[in-house]
């Protein structure tokens, strides 16, 4: 059975997390045992349980449903240059990475304002790099979030390296390149750096023509 909330998000009838919550509250008033009074009738409680499950699923992937449905007017989404595992990253990927870093990457948004700003940038980045690189990015992000949760001393230099890569892309200064190469070497030897983390940072570096020195 289709998720009633997801269907309305994709159609544009529900355009914000607050609207989604409001829709669910209206259903809860009629179906929740403690709220419905005499209006519920037989089967109302099971209807509430089903509605709550659909609401939680829709809320969990709200931005995916909202923005994914707005990529086009139908049919498969157009492929970007980032859909392949190899090949240059599109300019939009670098712009979105810079925006995510400015908005606190990596993090798990906790309120609507963060969701609308941060998750949109993250969604745009995932679209730009394509499915071919998406799995590696998700592993990279997961490792960074683990570092953050355990307050690892490796997090700050890793994020600094990401910012250096973004800056080098604009400046292309030889001294900056040397600094990035040295930082990559330290990241590679860091026991806290897992394969997805170093792999994705290396992918970014290779896109800028850096990394052969570490082979």
The domain ranges of the chain are 4-68, 81-214
pLDDT of 127 above 50: yes
At residue 35, the pLDDT reads: 64
Question: Pseudo-torsion of CA 72, 74, 80, 85, nearest 10°?
Answer: 130
- pLDDT tens-digit series, residues 39-62: 555 566 788 888 888 888 888 777
**Which segment of 66-75, 111-120, 178-187 scores lowest on mean pLDDT?**
66-75
Q: What was the pLDDT predicted at 23?
A: 87
Question: How many CB atoms within 10 Å of residue 12?
Answer: 10
- For residue 121, pLDDT beyond 50: yes
With 80 as the cut, is the pLDDT of residue 70 above it?
no
pLDDT of residue 44: 63
Per-residue model confidence (pLDDT) at position 42 = 58
Q: Predicted confidence band at 110 (pLDDT cuts at 50, 70, 90)? A: confident
| Phi, psi dihedral angles at 179 (to 5 degrees) | -60, -45
- Taking the model in full, what pTM does it have? 0.61
- pLDDT tens-place string over residues 134-159: 889 999 999 999 999 899 999 999 99
Residue with the bigger pLDDT between 39 and 200: it is: 200
Mean pLDDT of the chain: 82
Could you tell me the pLDDT band of residue 73, with boundaries at 50, 70 and 90? very low
Structure confidence at residue 208 as a pLDDT band (50, 70, 90): very high
pLDDT for 83: 45
């Amino acid at each position: 059975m289709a998720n009633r909330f997801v269907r309305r998000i994709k159609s544009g009838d529900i355009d914000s997390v607050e609207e989604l919550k409001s829709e669910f509250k209206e259903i809860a008033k009629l179906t929740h045992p403690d709220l419905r009074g005499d209006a519920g009738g037989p089967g109302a409680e099971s209807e509430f349980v089903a509605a709550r499950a659909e609401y939680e699923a829709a809320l969990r992937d709200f931005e995916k449903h909202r923005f994914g449905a707005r990529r086009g007017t139908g049919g498969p989404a157009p492929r970007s240059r980032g859909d392949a595992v190899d090949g240059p990253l599109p300019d939009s990927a670098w712009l979105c990475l810079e925006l995510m870093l400015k908005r606190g990457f990596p993090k798990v948004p906790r309120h609507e304002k963060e969701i609308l700003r941060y998750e949109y940038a993250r969604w745009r980045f995932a679209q730009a790099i394509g499915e071919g690189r998406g799995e590696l990015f998700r592993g990279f992000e997961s490792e960074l979030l683990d570092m953050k949760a355990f307050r690892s001393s490796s997090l700050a230099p890793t994020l600094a390296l990401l910012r250096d890569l973004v800056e080098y892309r604009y400046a292309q200064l030889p001294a900056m390149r040397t600094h990035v190469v040295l930082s990559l070497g330290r990241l590679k030897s860091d026991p806290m750096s897992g394969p997805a983390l170093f792999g994705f940072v290396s992918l970014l570096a290779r896109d800028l023509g850096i990394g052969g020195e570490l082979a």
